[in-house]
Structures are given as C-alpha cells and as structure tokens.
Chains A and B, each alone.
Chain A
Amino acid sequence: MQAVSVTGLSRHYGTTRAVDDVSFEVASGEIFGIVGPDGAGKTTLMRLLAGIVTPTSGGAMVAGCDVVADPEAVKQRIGYLSQVFSLYRDLTIGENIDFVADLYSEDLVRAGEAKARMLAMTGLAPFVDRQAGRLSGGMKQKLGLMCALIHRPTVLLLDEPTTGVDPLSRRDFWRILADLPSQGVTIVLSSPYMDEASRCHRLALMDHGRVLAVGSAAELAARVSGQMVEVVTPDPRGALRVLEGLPGLLSATPFGDALHVRLDGDDAVARVSAVLAGAGVVFSEARPAEASLEDAFIDLVGRGETA
C-alpha cells in the first residue's frame, strides 16, 4: 500500500510556480527524501501534503486520505514538523507536548507513556520544565519531533528537520528516525543536504518547483550521463580553468580536495590527463569514479535547463 501518492500536484503564487506538476509515490514504511536547493519548492510541497496549503491543481493521497477533499482526516493521521519552529516559546517542553497531545485528542495514559519514553530517548528529560524558547536548535527540533509523534501518526512529514542543527544533534535525530519505519511509520522529509539524502530509502530531486527524478541514491547516480573522472590535484582552480575548454565536458565540480569531471564520450580519463598535462597543471591522479548524488543532481538540473 502507498503511504503517499502525489499526482500532478501544482501550487502557483501569481506567476511563480512554487510546485509545478509534481507526481511521485511513497511506499509504506519508507524514508523518502525530497532534496533540492533553497527555493526549489520543498516547503510548499510539504505544506501541500500536510493539507495546510490548497493546491492550484492536481492532488495527493496521504495516509489513505485525500488532501483536497478531506484535509482534516489527513491531519489526524500525519505528524508534521514545519521548517519554522512552530511550538510555543513561553511554554515548557512538557507543556508543549501535553498541549499537542490534547490537540490530537490522544489518550492521556498512552500520551503520558509516549512522552516519558521519548523524553528519555531524546535526552530531553532533564529539561522538561525549561521553556522552549530557551532550548538550542537541536533540542528544539527534537521537541518538534516528539510533538509530531505524540499521536502515533502513520505518516511523518518533516520539513528540513536538521537545517541549522549541530552535527551531534543531527546524528541523534537520525537515530530516532531510523527506528520509525519498523513501527510502521512512513517518513517524508525534505533536505538541502545531499549527504543526508543518502540516508533515505528513496529520493525525489527537486528544482524550480519540479521533481527532476525519483529513485534510490544509487539509482539516481547510475543515471548520470557520460563518464566520471576524479582528478586529485593541489591546484583544483587551475585545473578547472583548463578543463573548461575541453570538448564534450558535461560538468566539472570541486569535490573535497578533488575535482569531479564528467565527460561525454569514451576514454575520458585519457582525455582529461592529456589536456591537463598539456597545459602544465600539476595533478597526482586522474581515475574513473562513481557518480555521486551531487553529480546526479547537477546533471539533472543541467538537462532541465537545456530542455
């Protein structure tokens, strides 16, 4: 059974197409990532799925309910964590959780148990009487996650849950998320980070309101056109300048202390080595490489622009 099923979903603001004819499906128990740069339309898409923004056209089924025809039924079944902190800063952690449990009419006993368990799991138990406004970014997001989970939703929508969160808290956060699919929770999350995307079972790459491709990280990388060459050089900027003149060049991007070069045609390694040597650029190695998710994204965006 599909937990989320999106068909031709669009939301326009004037002439801006924030979300433009988007379709994809998410299977039950999946962790599904929506990845794209700022302004790609991720937040609008998440809000459409949460039933708090009305689509211009198209529709979506979330947790078995229609977001257009019956958004209130969707709301009872989903947990939603917005990008902007949307809990009350002058309420304590405990008060915020209790308030949200009341909002969803969650059974008091069960909510109490869930609260105690999650407080222990997130390490927030000692801060239960601290006002939410005085929490760190990471603690705020953990509190948000607890509130989104208190009524045991079947679908969890997380809009950039780890943006602005320190690496340690981010690791904790993902540890909690990783356990949820086994409890029957489907997670749809958005992120601007490619490294985070690789933790998702499947992904949708999004740019300018459109979904460019859907698949697992490996599938998406495999779809990258051309051959990848990794150049290890102490002078990546010099190498980049030389390579820009290379015929058949699809993309060349710095990648850590190396350069990822994507070329159309065969013998990519030989051609890259030749042109770099010819121009006198020092490089220690040029070897065939696996395309990363970032390469896939750059490839797809490039194709989208030319199309």
Chain B
Amino acid sequence: MRRTRAIARKEWIHILRDKRSLAAVLTLPVVLVLLYGYAVNFDLNALSFALVDDDHSAASRHLAENLSGVRPFVFKGTLANAAEADSVFQRGIARVVVVVPAGFERLLDSGRPSPVQVLVDGSEGTIATIAQTYTVGAISTLGRTLTKAQAQGRGISKRLLEPAIDVRVRVLYNPDLLSRMFLVPGLIGIILMMLAALLTSGIIVRERESGTFELLAASPIGPMELLVGKMLPYLIIGAADVVVAVGMGWAVFGVEPKGSLLLLFALSLVYVLASSAIGLFFSCVARSQQTAMMMAFVATVIPTMILSGFAFPVRNIPLVLQGLSQMLPATHYIAIARGIILKGIGLGPIWWHGLALALLTVFWMRLALRKFSKTL
C-alpha cells in the first residue's frame, strides 16, 4: 500500500511539474470535441439540384419553383438535356438532377400519373441516400397537392383522395434526427479512449528510457504495486477529461445527458480504467515511447473508429469482426453513453456493458502483469 501510494504520489508530481503536457491533456478533449463535432456531420444542410425541363409548361415551372422553396433544396439552374447531368455531377455543381419529360403537364391534366425522373450523384453513399429520400419525399408531397387541386377543380371530394392509413412518425430521443446527437456520445468515447490509452502507453517505457527503471527494478517493489500506483494519477486525469468532454458536448452541441450524471461518470471511470489498461500493456511490451504510443494507437483508436458502433451500427459488421468489436472497450462505452445521454436509461439495460468493461480491465491488466519484468 505504502509503495503504491509512493509511486502514485511521484507520478502525480511528474504530471503537475510538466505544465505543458498537463495543459495539453486537459485542452485536448475541448479541441477534439469541437473538431470532430463540427467536422463529422451526416446532416444534409444544403441540397443543390438542377432541372432538365423537356416540357416547358406551367406545371414543370411550378414543380421547380416549389422544390426551390423547400428546405434544404437549392436551385442551381436548368440544363438543356439529361446528358448534361453527368458533367454537373462531375463538377460537383448539384447532387440531384430532376428530369421533367415532355408531356408532363398533359398527363397531369388528364388525371393520370405523370412520371418525373430523379438522377442522384451516388459517389457519396450516405449523402446520396439522404438526398434521394428528401427529393422523392418533396416531389411526392408536391404531387399530392397538385392532385388535390385538380380534384377540387373537377368537383371530386377531397376526402376520397385521403390515404386509407395515415402514418404519423414521431422520432424519440433525437426528434430532429440530428447526427450530432448520435455522434457526440460516441465522440466522447473515442476521445476518452485515445487520451487514456496514449497517456498510459508511456508510463513504464518512459522509466526504461530515462534510466530510472533501474532504480525501480533494483528495489523490492512488486509489479502489481508499481502498475497500480502508476495508473492511479491517470485515472484522476481521465476523470477530469470525462467532465470536460461531456461538458463540451452539452455546452457546445446541446447534447444534454438525460440520465443520471453520477451513473454516467462512474461507468466512464471504468471505461477510462479499461482504456488505461490497454495503454499500460503496450507500455510493458514496447522498448521505446514512440513504439508504445504507436502500438496503443493502432490497437485502440483505429479499430474503435470502425468497429465500436461510433459511426456504423455494430450489427452491420460481419460476425467474425463483431467478436472483435466486443473486445473493444469503446463498443460497450458508446452503448452506455448513448443509453444514458440520449435515452436517459438507468443501469438496468446496460449493466452487462459495465461488467464487460470491468472484465476487459482485468484482462489487459493481467496481460500487462505477465509481460512486465523487473529486469533490464
């Protein structure tokens, strides 16, 4: 106990006396939340479109004008023919081209369905899907108002035109379907993991590099006492980073935790511990700080971005990789963070994620202890 405390106190002095690193560690979450929060955005704020009007009728003009008036559509101009769509997409002028064929107004007036072609730039998959949904939705709505207007003109009751089933959608937890609501909890997870793993990746190998490991090796301190003592101060730093990261998400992006702050904080600490244990393992294995940091980065940040459910749902990942994703602390933490922050749930539905984090901590600590050696 006394040795563990001595190591922790010494490590704490190192942290406090290295003012620049301390400042970096505390401002990094601020910078990262801002950077990722603004840069990673799946929302479509402006949907540029062009029109190919082969009908040159009042109806086709009406369609274009109405579409321009709907948010987030931005009218970019009229093309001579559909073949020009290619060059418009290639130059990135518009994401969508709406083609109104000749005879559009005539079909409309005759009360028959009138086709409209929508060309979508599919080179950016996610955006293309959203653009397609928006365009089809907007044109369909327009179509319905036109039909109603015609019906009125012919004296047909509007009620007959109402759909038999009226679907009314209400989205829970993220009513405006803003991608930042979905991203910020994941972002907090990635940032905490990155900081914890990278910070602890240095703690043993740094002593080897500076020669001070010889003092520790020749002393009677036990491996467990040393590793635990070294990790404790970084847990405090991690706790501070939890507060900063969650606070930033709240203050800047309005992502207010709906659930218990205490539960979120407690489970975040377990998560920081698990991430630190991974860094610690690489600190015991590597022979230079750079190598340790590189290894920790490759082992945590890279798979976490892809496999943790940060951007893509874990269920969409091939089964083999899903096993790997369960080995990543971030997978469990992101589920916890989304649950508590967005849905406001308690421990009930997420307790096993917390348990998984604890088990991962034990797993990596044991691995680190096995690799640790008190020889030079």
Task: Known A52-B374, A52-B376, A54-B375; judge A82-B211 contact (CB<8 A).
Answer: yes
Establish whether residues B220 and A88, one from each chain, have CB atoms under 8 Å apart when the complex forms: no
Q: Which residues of A contact B217 (CB under 8 A)?
A: 52
- Proximity bits, B195-226, A CB within 8 Å = 1, else 0: 00000000000000011111111111100000
Cα(A302)–Cα(B3), bound, Å? 50
Known: A52-B217, A76-B220, A91-B13. A86 touches B18 (CB 8 A): no
For B4, the closest partner residue in chain A by CB is A102
What separation, in Å, do the CA atoms of A87 and B218 have in the docked complex?
12
Q: Check if B71 is an interface residue, CB within 8 A of chain A.
A: no
- Given A53-B375, A105-B3, decide whether A87 and B220 contact each other with a Cβ distance below 8 A: no
B interface vs A, CB < 8 Å? Answer: 2-3, 5-6, 9-10, 13-14, 17-18, 210-221, 374-376
Distance of A90 Cα from B218 Cα, bound (Å): 20
By a CB distance below 8 angstroms, the chain B residues around A53 are: 375-376
CB within 8 Å: A-B pair count: 70
Collect the chain A residues with CB atoms within 8 Å of residue B14's CB: 88, 90
Residue of B nearest to A105 (CB): B2
Residue in B2, B3, B10, B211 whose beta carbon sits within 8 Å of that of A85 in the complex = B211
What residues on A are CB-neighbors of B5 within 8 Å?
Answer: 102
A103 at the interface (CB under 8 A from B): yes
A50 at the interface (CB under 8 A from B): yes
Pairwise interchain contact A86-B214, C-beta atoms closer than 8 A: yes
Query: B2 touching A80 by the CB < 8 A rule?
Result: no
Cα A99 to Cα B375 in complex, Å, equals 20
Q: Which residues 61-94 of A sit at the B interface, judged by CB distance below 8 A? A: 71-72, 75-76, 78, 80, 82, 84-91
A91-108 interface code vs B (CB 8 A; 1 in, 0 out): 100010011101111000
- Interface CB pairs A-B, < 8 A, 23: A52-B374, A75-B218, A75-B220, A80-B214, A80-B218, A85-B211, A86-B213, A86-B214, A88-B14, A90-B13, A90-B17, A91-B10, A95-B10, A98-B6, A99-B10, A100-B215, A102-B3, A103-B3, A103-B6, A103-B219, A103-B220, A104-B220, A105-B2
CB of B276 to closest CB in A, whole Å: 21
Q: How far is the CA of A88 from the CA of B215 in the complex (A)?
A: 10
